[in-house]
Structure 1
Amino acid sequence: MSTWTNTIKLEGQKVDLVPLEKSHREGLLKAAADGKLWNIWYTAVPSEATIDKYLETAFQEQVNGRSLPFVVVNKEDGRILGTTRYCNVEAESRRLEIGHTWYAESFQRTGVNTECNYLLLRHAFENLDTIAVEFRTNWFNYRSRNAILRLGAKQDGVLRNHRIDQQGLLRDTVVFSIIQSEWKTVKNSLEYEMSPYRR
Protein backbone atom coordinates (compact mmCIF):
# COMPACT_ATOMS: atom_id res chain seq x y z
CA MET A 1 0.00 0.00 0.00
CA SER A 2 1.16 3.51 -0.80
CA THR A 3 2.32 5.46 2.24
CA TRP A 4 -0.02 8.15 0.92
CA THR A 5 -2.98 6.00 1.95
CA ASN A 6 -1.68 4.90 5.35
CA THR A 7 -4.24 5.76 8.02
CA ILE A 8 -3.71 9.02 9.88
CA LYS A 9 -5.85 11.21 12.13
CA LEU A 10 -5.96 14.92 11.28
CA GLU A 11 -6.91 17.12 14.25
CA GLY A 12 -8.56 20.52 13.92
CA GLN A 13 -10.21 23.10 16.16
CA LYS A 14 -13.85 22.20 15.44
CA VAL A 15 -13.49 18.75 13.92
CA ASP A 16 -11.16 15.79 13.65
CA LEU A 17 -10.74 13.68 10.53
CA VAL A 18 -10.64 10.07 11.68
CA PRO A 19 -9.89 7.08 9.43
CA LEU A 20 -13.13 5.47 8.27
CA GLU A 21 -14.03 2.17 9.94
CA LYS A 22 -16.97 -0.25 9.65
CA SER A 23 -18.05 0.86 13.13
CA HIS A 24 -18.87 4.31 11.69
CA ARG A 25 -21.77 2.88 9.64
CA GLU A 26 -24.61 4.03 11.89
CA GLY A 27 -23.05 7.42 12.55
CA LEU A 28 -22.80 8.06 8.81
CA LEU A 29 -26.42 7.04 8.27
CA LYS A 30 -27.53 9.47 11.00
CA ALA A 31 -25.51 12.27 9.40
CA ALA A 32 -26.96 11.51 5.95
CA ALA A 33 -30.48 11.46 7.43
CA ASP A 34 -29.96 15.07 8.54
CA GLY A 35 -31.40 16.55 5.36
CA LYS A 36 -32.06 13.17 3.65
CA LEU A 37 -28.98 13.83 1.58
CA TRP A 38 -29.36 10.66 -0.49
CA ASN A 39 -32.28 12.35 -2.29
CA ILE A 40 -30.01 14.96 -3.91
CA TRP A 41 -29.83 13.54 -7.42
CA TYR A 42 -26.39 14.89 -8.40
CA THR A 43 -24.55 13.49 -5.36
CA ALA A 44 -23.70 9.99 -4.11
CA VAL A 45 -24.56 10.10 -0.40
CA PRO A 46 -25.30 6.65 1.08
CA SER A 47 -28.67 5.52 2.37
CA GLU A 48 -29.57 2.41 4.37
CA ALA A 49 -29.83 0.56 1.05
CA THR A 50 -26.40 1.60 -0.23
CA ILE A 51 -24.22 2.16 2.85
CA ASP A 52 -22.59 -1.29 2.88
CA LYS A 53 -21.53 -1.07 -0.77
CA TYR A 54 -20.35 2.49 -0.14
CA LEU A 55 -18.10 1.36 2.71
CA GLU A 56 -16.85 -1.71 0.85
CA THR A 57 -15.80 0.41 -2.12
CA ALA A 58 -14.00 2.94 0.11
CA PHE A 59 -12.06 0.21 1.92
CA GLN A 60 -11.13 -1.59 -1.29
CA GLU A 61 -9.82 1.60 -2.88
CA GLN A 62 -7.67 2.16 0.20
CA VAL A 63 -6.27 -1.39 -0.05
CA ASN A 64 -5.47 -0.63 -3.70
CA GLY A 65 -3.53 2.50 -2.68
CA ARG A 66 -5.99 4.82 -4.40
CA SER A 67 -7.95 6.29 -1.50
CA LEU A 68 -7.82 7.33 2.15
CA PRO A 69 -11.34 7.80 3.58
CA PHE A 70 -12.16 9.76 6.73
CA VAL A 71 -15.19 10.47 8.87
CA VAL A 72 -15.66 14.03 10.10
CA VAL A 73 -16.09 14.04 13.89
CA ASN A 74 -17.43 16.98 15.88
CA LYS A 75 -14.92 17.66 18.67
CA GLU A 76 -17.63 19.07 20.94
CA ASP A 77 -19.77 15.94 21.23
CA GLY A 78 -18.06 13.20 19.19
CA ARG A 79 -20.86 13.08 16.63
CA ILE A 80 -20.10 12.04 13.05
CA LEU A 81 -20.94 14.96 10.76
CA GLY A 82 -20.10 13.40 7.40
CA THR A 83 -17.18 12.08 5.42
CA THR A 84 -14.42 13.08 3.02
CA ARG A 85 -11.41 11.36 1.48
CA TYR A 86 -8.27 11.50 -0.55
CA CYS A 87 -9.11 9.67 -3.78
CA ASN A 88 -7.65 9.04 -7.23
CA VAL A 89 -4.27 9.01 -5.52
CA GLU A 90 -1.30 8.96 -7.92
CA ALA A 91 1.64 8.76 -5.53
CA GLU A 92 4.11 8.29 -8.36
CA SER A 93 3.01 11.63 -9.84
CA ARG A 94 2.50 13.25 -6.40
CA ARG A 95 -1.14 14.11 -7.16
CA LEU A 96 -4.43 13.34 -5.49
CA GLU A 97 -8.05 14.45 -5.33
CA ILE A 98 -10.16 15.47 -2.35
CA GLY A 99 -13.66 14.14 -2.88
CA HIS A 100 -16.62 12.05 -1.76
CA THR A 101 -17.27 14.92 0.65
CA TRP A 102 -20.62 15.51 2.32
CA TYR A 103 -21.88 16.81 5.65
CA ALA A 104 -25.12 16.65 7.64
CA GLU A 105 -27.33 19.49 6.47
CA SER A 106 -27.28 21.27 9.84
CA PHE A 107 -23.46 21.52 9.66
CA GLN A 108 -23.26 22.88 6.13
CA ARG A 109 -22.08 26.51 5.88
CA THR A 110 -20.77 26.46 9.46
CA GLY A 111 -17.03 26.49 8.74
CA VAL A 112 -16.73 22.70 8.95
CA ASN A 113 -15.98 22.33 5.24
CA THR A 114 -13.31 25.03 5.36
CA GLU A 115 -11.52 23.40 8.28
CA CYS A 116 -11.74 19.89 6.79
CA ASN A 117 -10.23 21.01 3.53
CA TYR A 118 -7.57 23.05 5.34
CA LEU A 119 -6.49 19.92 7.25
CA LEU A 120 -6.46 17.78 4.11
CA LEU A 121 -4.63 20.35 2.00
CA ARG A 122 -2.04 21.06 4.68
CA HIS A 123 -1.25 17.37 5.07
CA ALA A 124 -1.13 16.86 1.30
CA PHE A 125 1.21 19.76 0.57
CA GLU A 126 3.33 19.84 3.73
CA ASN A 127 3.66 16.14 4.57
CA LEU A 128 3.07 14.28 1.31
CA ASP A 129 4.80 16.91 -0.87
CA THR A 130 1.90 16.83 -3.30
CA ILE A 131 2.34 18.92 -6.47
CA ALA A 132 -1.40 19.29 -7.13
CA VAL A 133 -4.69 18.61 -5.39
CA GLU A 134 -7.83 18.23 -7.49
CA PHE A 135 -11.50 18.73 -6.68
CA ARG A 136 -14.28 17.42 -8.95
CA THR A 137 -18.02 17.91 -8.84
CA ASN A 138 -21.16 17.53 -10.91
CA TRP A 139 -21.92 20.47 -13.20
CA PHE A 140 -25.30 20.89 -11.48
CA ASN A 141 -23.83 20.97 -7.98
CA TYR A 142 -23.57 24.76 -7.88
CA ARG A 143 -23.17 24.88 -4.10
CA SER A 144 -20.17 22.56 -4.27
CA ARG A 145 -18.64 24.48 -7.17
CA ASN A 146 -18.88 27.74 -5.24
CA ALA A 147 -17.49 26.14 -2.08
CA ILE A 148 -14.48 24.82 -4.00
CA LEU A 149 -13.81 28.25 -5.49
CA ARG A 150 -14.01 29.81 -2.00
CA LEU A 151 -11.21 27.50 -0.89
CA GLY A 152 -8.94 29.14 -3.45
CA ALA A 153 -9.00 26.44 -6.12
CA LYS A 154 -9.06 27.37 -9.79
CA GLN A 155 -11.26 25.76 -12.41
CA ASP A 156 -9.27 23.64 -14.86
CA GLY A 157 -12.14 22.74 -17.14
CA VAL A 158 -15.22 20.60 -17.71
CA LEU A 159 -15.16 16.91 -18.67
CA ARG A 160 -18.21 16.59 -20.93
CA ASN A 161 -20.13 13.29 -20.72
CA HIS A 162 -17.55 12.23 -18.18
CA ARG A 163 -19.60 9.33 -16.82
CA ILE A 164 -23.03 7.75 -16.69
CA ASP A 165 -24.53 7.89 -13.21
CA GLN A 166 -26.66 5.30 -11.40
CA GLN A 167 -29.80 6.83 -12.90
CA GLY A 168 -28.39 6.48 -16.42
CA LEU A 169 -27.87 10.24 -16.69
CA LEU A 170 -24.85 11.70 -18.45
CA ARG A 171 -22.67 13.68 -16.04
CA ASP A 172 -20.49 16.64 -16.91
CA THR A 173 -17.72 16.92 -14.30
CA VAL A 174 -16.16 20.27 -13.34
CA VAL A 175 -12.48 19.96 -12.41
CA PHE A 176 -10.65 22.35 -10.09
CA SER A 177 -7.17 22.28 -8.59
CA ILE A 178 -4.72 23.92 -6.23
CA ILE A 179 -1.09 23.51 -7.18
CA GLN A 180 1.96 23.42 -4.94
CA SER A 181 3.13 26.95 -5.73
CA GLU A 182 -0.27 28.34 -4.71
CA TRP A 183 -0.45 26.61 -1.34
CA LYS A 184 1.23 29.33 0.74
CA THR A 185 -1.30 31.94 -0.38
CA VAL A 186 -4.27 29.55 -0.17
CA LYS A 187 -3.19 28.51 3.33
CA ASN A 188 -3.04 32.15 4.44
CA SER A 189 -6.53 32.76 3.04
CA LEU A 190 -8.01 29.69 4.75
CA GLU A 191 -6.40 30.56 8.09
CA TYR A 192 -7.86 34.05 7.83
CA GLU A 193 -11.31 32.61 7.10
CA MET A 194 -11.04 30.39 10.18
CA SER A 195 -9.71 33.13 12.43
CA PRO A 196 -11.74 34.76 15.24
CA TYR A 197 -11.84 37.96 13.20
CA ARG A 198 -14.14 36.25 10.69
CA ARG A 199 -16.53 34.67 13.20
Structure 2
Amino acid sequence: MWASPVRLSGEIVSLAPLAPAQEADLAEAAADGALHQLWYTSIPRTDDIAGEIDRRLALQEAGSMVPFAILDSDGRAVGMTTYMNIDAANRRLEIGSTWYRTSVQRSGINTECKFLLLSHAFETLDAIAVEFRTHRLNRQSRAAIERLGAQLDGILRAHMILANGTQRDTAVYSITAAEWPTIRAHLLHLLGR
Protein backbone atom coordinates (compact mmCIF):
# COMPACT_ATOMS: atom_id res chain seq x y z
CA MET A 1 0.00 0.00 0.00
CA TRP A 2 1.19 3.50 -0.82
CA ALA A 3 -0.21 4.99 2.41
CA SER A 4 -0.23 2.66 5.38
CA PRO A 5 -0.66 2.95 9.17
CA VAL A 6 2.20 4.81 10.82
CA ARG A 7 2.82 6.66 14.09
CA LEU A 8 3.73 10.34 13.70
CA SER A 9 5.01 12.30 16.69
CA GLY A 10 5.44 16.00 17.35
CA GLU A 11 6.06 18.16 20.39
CA ILE A 12 2.45 18.54 21.59
CA VAL A 13 0.60 15.89 19.60
CA SER A 14 1.07 12.39 18.23
CA LEU A 15 -0.92 10.51 15.66
CA ALA A 16 -1.33 6.81 16.35
CA PRO A 17 -2.99 4.21 14.15
CA LEU A 18 -6.66 4.12 15.17
CA ALA A 19 -7.50 1.12 17.37
CA PRO A 20 -10.45 -0.14 19.43
CA ALA A 21 -8.41 0.44 22.62
CA GLN A 22 -8.89 4.21 22.12
CA GLU A 23 -12.68 3.98 22.33
CA ALA A 24 -13.09 5.29 25.91
CA ASP A 25 -10.88 8.35 25.33
CA LEU A 26 -12.63 9.10 22.04
CA ALA A 27 -16.09 8.76 23.59
CA GLU A 28 -15.07 11.25 26.25
CA ALA A 29 -13.65 13.54 23.55
CA ALA A 30 -16.86 13.39 21.51
CA ALA A 31 -18.90 14.29 24.60
CA ASP A 32 -16.78 17.41 25.19
CA GLY A 33 -18.93 20.09 23.58
CA ALA A 34 -21.62 17.71 22.24
CA LEU A 35 -19.92 17.79 18.86
CA HIS A 36 -22.45 15.38 17.30
CA GLN A 37 -25.03 18.18 17.42
CA LEU A 38 -23.23 20.18 14.72
CA TRP A 39 -25.52 19.81 11.70
CA TYR A 40 -22.91 20.60 9.02
CA THR A 41 -20.40 17.89 9.94
CA SER A 42 -20.44 14.23 10.93
CA ILE A 43 -19.01 13.57 14.38
CA PRO A 44 -20.13 10.39 16.12
CA ARG A 45 -22.20 10.34 19.29
CA THR A 46 -20.40 8.93 22.30
CA ASP A 47 -22.24 5.62 21.99
CA ASP A 48 -21.35 5.39 18.27
CA ILE A 49 -17.56 5.64 18.72
CA ALA A 50 -16.98 1.87 18.53
CA GLY A 51 -18.95 1.72 15.27
CA GLU A 52 -17.01 4.67 13.85
CA ILE A 53 -13.70 3.01 14.73
CA ASP A 54 -14.90 -0.19 13.03
CA ARG A 55 -16.06 1.77 9.95
CA ARG A 56 -12.74 3.54 9.57
CA LEU A 57 -10.76 0.35 10.09
CA ALA A 58 -12.85 -1.40 7.42
CA LEU A 59 -12.03 1.43 4.99
CA GLN A 60 -8.37 1.00 5.93
CA GLU A 61 -8.63 -2.70 5.13
CA ALA A 62 -10.12 -1.76 1.74
CA GLY A 63 -7.15 0.55 1.07
CA SER A 64 -9.10 3.81 0.87
CA MET A 65 -8.32 5.28 4.31
CA VAL A 66 -5.57 5.43 6.92
CA PRO A 67 -7.25 6.48 10.20
CA PHE A 68 -5.45 8.00 13.17
CA ALA A 69 -6.26 8.79 16.78
CA ILE A 70 -4.99 12.23 17.74
CA LEU A 71 -3.14 11.99 21.05
CA ASP A 72 -2.29 14.90 23.33
CA SER A 73 1.03 15.14 25.18
CA ASP A 74 -0.36 12.88 27.93
CA GLY A 75 -1.17 10.16 25.38
CA ARG A 76 -4.93 10.71 25.68
CA ALA A 77 -6.96 10.43 22.45
CA VAL A 78 -8.57 13.84 21.84
CA GLY A 79 -9.92 13.29 18.33
CA MET A 80 -9.61 11.49 15.02
CA THR A 81 -8.23 12.28 11.58
CA THR A 82 -7.51 10.34 8.40
CA TYR A 83 -5.77 10.10 5.11
CA MET A 84 -8.74 9.36 2.86
CA ASN A 85 -9.73 9.20 -0.80
CA ILE A 86 -6.29 7.74 -1.36
CA ASP A 87 -5.29 7.75 -5.03
CA ALA A 88 -1.94 5.94 -5.12
CA ALA A 89 -1.68 5.98 -8.93
CA ASN A 90 -1.78 9.78 -8.94
CA ARG A 91 -0.06 10.21 -5.55
CA ARG A 92 -2.95 12.26 -4.15
CA LEU A 93 -4.87 11.97 -0.90
CA GLU A 94 -7.19 13.96 1.29
CA ILE A 95 -6.71 14.82 4.94
CA GLY A 96 -10.18 14.71 6.41
CA SER A 97 -12.83 13.32 8.72
CA THR A 98 -11.00 15.27 11.42
CA TRP A 99 -12.49 16.30 14.71
CA TYR A 100 -11.14 17.38 18.10
CA ARG A 101 -12.69 17.60 21.55
CA THR A 102 -13.81 21.18 22.18
CA SER A 103 -11.33 21.79 25.01
CA VAL A 104 -8.27 21.34 22.72
CA GLN A 105 -9.54 23.38 19.78
CA ARG A 106 -7.43 26.50 19.11
CA SER A 107 -4.59 25.04 21.21
CA GLY A 108 -2.02 24.44 18.47
CA ILE A 109 -2.86 20.74 18.29
CA ASN A 110 -4.56 21.09 14.89
CA THR A 111 -1.63 23.00 13.40
CA GLU A 112 0.91 20.43 14.56
CA CYS A 113 -1.37 17.54 13.54
CA LYS A 114 -1.67 18.93 10.01
CA PHE A 115 2.08 19.63 9.92
CA LEU A 116 2.80 15.98 10.76
CA LEU A 117 0.31 14.66 8.19
CA LEU A 118 1.49 17.01 5.44
CA SER A 119 5.17 16.32 6.16
CA HIS A 120 4.60 12.59 5.92
CA ALA A 121 2.50 12.94 2.75
CA PHE A 122 4.98 15.13 0.89
CA GLU A 123 8.31 14.00 2.33
CA THR A 124 7.75 10.25 2.79
CA LEU A 125 4.91 9.34 0.42
CA ASP A 126 6.05 11.83 -2.26
CA ALA A 127 2.48 13.06 -2.76
CA ILE A 128 1.90 15.54 -5.55
CA ALA A 129 -1.15 17.07 -3.88
CA VAL A 130 -3.06 16.90 -0.61
CA GLU A 131 -6.72 17.93 -0.46
CA PHE A 132 -8.98 19.19 2.31
CA ARG A 133 -12.76 19.23 1.99
CA THR A 134 -15.43 20.70 4.22
CA HIS A 135 -18.99 22.01 4.15
CA ARG A 136 -19.16 25.39 2.47
CA LEU A 137 -20.90 26.77 5.58
CA ASN A 138 -18.41 25.34 8.10
CA ARG A 139 -16.60 28.64 8.63
CA GLN A 140 -14.49 27.31 11.53
CA SER A 141 -13.11 24.45 9.43
CA ARG A 142 -12.60 26.65 6.37
CA ALA A 143 -10.70 29.23 8.43
CA ALA A 144 -8.47 26.49 9.88
CA ILE A 145 -7.74 25.09 6.40
CA GLU A 146 -7.00 28.55 5.01
CA ARG A 147 -4.74 29.31 7.99
CA LEU A 148 -2.62 26.32 6.94
CA GLY A 149 -2.05 27.99 3.58
CA ALA A 150 -4.19 25.68 1.45
CA GLN A 151 -5.73 27.20 -1.68
CA LEU A 152 -9.44 27.04 -2.48
CA ASP A 153 -9.86 24.94 -5.63
CA GLY A 154 -13.61 25.52 -5.77
CA ILE A 155 -17.04 24.58 -4.47
CA LEU A 156 -18.73 21.31 -5.44
CA ARG A 157 -22.36 22.39 -5.38
CA ALA A 158 -25.01 19.93 -4.14
CA HIS A 159 -22.17 17.46 -3.61
CA MET A 160 -23.58 15.29 -0.82
CA ILE A 161 -26.78 14.57 1.05
CA LEU A 162 -26.27 14.88 4.81
CA ALA A 163 -27.91 12.76 7.49
CA ASN A 164 -30.48 15.52 8.14
CA GLY A 165 -31.50 15.47 4.45
CA THR A 166 -29.87 18.78 3.48
CA GLN A 167 -27.50 19.03 0.56
CA ARG A 168 -23.86 19.86 1.23
CA ASP A 169 -21.90 22.22 -0.96
CA THR A 170 -18.30 21.07 -0.48
CA ALA A 171 -15.41 23.55 -0.37
CA VAL A 172 -12.32 21.84 -1.84
CA TYR A 173 -8.84 23.07 -0.94
CA SER A 174 -5.39 21.73 -1.76
CA ILE A 175 -1.68 22.08 -1.24
CA THR A 176 0.64 20.91 -4.01
CA ALA A 177 4.15 19.47 -3.72
CA ALA A 178 5.58 22.64 -5.30
CA GLU A 179 3.90 24.73 -2.57
CA TRP A 180 4.99 22.46 0.28
CA PRO A 181 8.37 24.13 1.10
CA THR A 182 6.67 27.51 1.59
CA ILE A 183 3.73 25.99 3.49
CA ARG A 184 6.19 24.02 5.65
CA ALA A 185 8.05 27.22 6.59
CA HIS A 186 4.72 28.92 7.32
CA LEU A 187 3.54 26.09 9.60
CA LEU A 188 6.86 25.99 11.46
CA HIS A 189 6.49 29.75 12.04
CA LEU A 190 2.94 29.25 13.36
CA LEU A 191 4.29 26.55 15.68
CA GLY A 192 7.03 28.89 16.91
CA ARG A 193 9.89 26.74 15.61
Shorter chain as denominator, the TM-score bin is over 0.9
The 8 Å contact of residues 91 and 128 in structure 2, kept in 1 or not, is answered as yes
1:11-22 paired onto structure 2 within 5 Å: 11-22=9-20
- Shift of the alpha carbon at 1:64? 1.1
Q: Alpha-carbon deviations, 1:134-180, whole Å to 9, x = none?
A: 00001110000010000010000000000101111111000000001
Q: Whole-Å Cα distance in 2 between the matches of residues 22 and 106 of structure 1?
A: 23
Give the CA deviation at 1:3.
3.3
Matches within 5 A, 1:20-169: 20-75=18-73, 77-169=74-166
CA drift at 1:55: 1.6
Gaps of 5+ in 2: none
State the AA in 1 paired with 2:125: L
Following the alignment from structure 2 to structure 1, what is the Cα–Cα distance between the partners of residues 151 and 183?
Answer: 11
Report how far residue 25 of structure 1 moved. Answer: 1.1
Please tell me the residue identity of whatever aligns with 1:22: P
Q: CA deviation at 1:49?
A: 3.9
Q: 4+ residue stretches of structure 1 with deviation over 4 A? A: none
| Counterpart contact for 2:32–2:103, Cα < 8 Å | yes
Aligned residue pairs total 193
Deviation at 1:48, TM superposition (A): 3.0
Q: Which amino acid aligns with 1:168?
A: G
RMSD: 1.0
SS at 1:50's partner residue? helix
Q: CA deviation at 1:7?
A: 1.4
Matched, 1:3 2:2: yes
- Mark the runs of 5 or more structure 1 residues left unpaired by the alignment: none
